[in-house]
Amino acid sequence: MIFGFATANAQKHIKRVTPWHWSGFNTIEEKATVGELSSKTGKNKVVSLDLEDYTPVMSALHRILTQSTLYSTQRKKPLPPFTYEYLKEGLRRSWTAEQIGHLLLKYESEWYADEALSKWNEIDELFEEEKQQQKDIIEKLLIEHNITKPNEREYAFEKLDEAHENVKSNWQIEKEQRIKPSLWWKKVAEAQVTNNNQTTNANTPNNSNTPKLTNLSSNGKVWFIHPVAMVGYFPVKIKLWHEPLENPQRTYFSSNKLEYYWNGAFGMVRTYSNGAKKAHTGLDLFARIGTPCFACLDGEIVQYKSEGGYGNVLVIKVKGDDLRASRNEYTLEFSEKGEIEQSDNFDINRVYFYLRYCHLSNKRTDLNIGDEVKSGDLIGYTGDTGNAKGVCNPHLHLEIAMNATSNTIKDGTPNGKLAFKINPAFFVNLQPIDQDLQKKVKARRLKKEE
């Protein structure tokens, strides 16, 4: 940070403003100590403090929160105590959250303190005060409910004492095990000063006009900004894609019980009994029967019906831009086995594509054709319908195609079945195969135990 203002000859009526001033943001320096702030917020849970007793930060937040819905319902009544609940409610309202985010606050970092933890020890002195406040509340409640028996009253206060001692004990542990090991600020700031002095003496002439460059402040005070203020200030790449299953992994076994983990890849990865190549039109993801399936992208349900060997098929129509933005860094794992990236006639620049979930046991009961779904929405459950009935490797067969159905070319070649489709592995983020799990499921399936 550079200390000072931009220098220029300006007339008296022109206000000098630091070039690092942010229009629309308010700067507030909190002068209250940790103990003072804790004391005031603690008292304010019980009674309303006078506005003049608020700290600078509390006053600024009060001005903002009095405009929130929760406060506005009580404008004809005395203002309620300033509590965390009101702050949370304010942050849920975009117009209030924006104003809170525009507060630039300067206060002493929690990572700065002396070895004795003096500033944190101020809180120790507040426990008895808070305990007395709680006793006063309990006393009022006992009177309101006409509880006068000595043993019942003693029990209530004993429980308060017990809880109070527990809180005090936990606070001492908190200081020793979390706060104290985190006090890096002072050490780093001192090291930076030493390093800067050495660098200046070695390389920089003694010039009082040279701007001073510093990092951490030596007194631990620094400007803070609520992260909500930064929303929309920087371009963020939004993740559109949601995996079709939790922990998506390839099938380890083929349907005929062999350890052919490439058998569920997209392409000419299978063989007929005579040795001829056979096409596999999607990506097989291992899934026990009844595993939840999710919409990979925002889209529209355009089909749910049985398609012969595919079994029950649910189809989601999705935007081409969303699919293109979801491509991952996958590279072909089984090119020597016949895995390919896409069919020759697949057009990645289409306006819409279709995600086809096959072999489902059922869709979500309240979903209907024409319904809109969001990425990550539950859409159905895996099964073994169609030609997957009773197989040892239950799975979801996923296809990404240019059409909802009829994604084949009847040209008499095996490649015709791959037409209009792309390899889903370029979108699904595959996880390592859990061989132990898949072997266990295979054994159970062969015994018809699941």
Residues 315 and 399 in one domain: yes
Tell me the average pLDDT of the chain.
82
Q: Residue 347 and residue 181: Cα distance in Å, rounded?
A: 57
pLDDT at 63: 77
Proportion of the chain above pLDDT 90, given as a percent? 43
70 and 166 co-located in one domain: yes
Residue 415 lies in a domain: yes
Quick check: is 75 in a domain? yes
Domain boundary among 172, 200, 228: 200
290 and 417: one domain? yes
Q: For 142-189, what is each residue's pLDDT tens digit?
A: 898 898 898 988 988 898 889 888 888 888 898 888 888 888 877 887
Domain end position, chosen among 200, 226, 256:
200
Answer whether 0.75 is exceeded by the pTM. Answer: no
Identify whether the C-beta of residue 363 lies closer than 8 Å to the C-beta of residue 379.
Answer: yes
Phi, psi for residue 235 in degrees, rounded to 5: -65, 130
pLDDT at 349 over 80: yes
**Whether residue 293 is found in the same domain as residue 406:** yes
196 and 325 housed in the same domain = no
Are residue 179 and residue 291 in the same domain, yes or no?
A: no
Rounded to whole angstroms, the Cα distance separating 97 from 2 reads: 30
Considering 163, 178, 200, which residue would you say is the last residue of a domain? 200
CA proximity to 224, closest of 3, 26, 2, 16: 26
Q: What is the pLDDT of residue 403?
A: 95
> Which domain covers residue 52, as residue numbers?
26-200
Judging by DSSP bridges, how do beta strands 103-108 and 26-29 pair with one another?
A: parallel
Q: Cα(307)–Cα(70) distance, rounded to whole angstroms?
A: 54
pLDDT single digits (tens) 274-286? 888 999 999 999 9
Query: Do 185 and 274 have their domain in common?
Result: no
Q: What are phi and psi of 180, to 5 degrees?
A: -60, -45
With H, G, I as helix, E, B as strand and everything else as coil, classify residue 298: coil
Q: Which range is least confidently modeled, 93-97, 129-133, 263-267, 271-275? A: 93-97
Whether 299 and 173 map to the same domain: the answer is no
Same domain, 196 and 308: no
User: Which of 328, 340, 296 has the alpha carbon at shortest distance from 427?
Assistant: 328
- Work out how many domains the chain is built from and give that number: 2
- Whether residues 168 and 311 share a domain: the answer is no
At 104, list the tokens: 């630039």
What is the domain-level CATH number for residue 285? 2.70.70.10
| pLDDT band at residue 81 using 50, 70 and 90 as cut-offs | low
In a domain, 288, yes or no: yes
DSSP output for 114-153: -TT-HHHHGGGGHHHHHHHHHHHHHHHHHHHTT---HHHH
pLDDT value at residue 14: 56
In a domain, 430, yes or no: yes
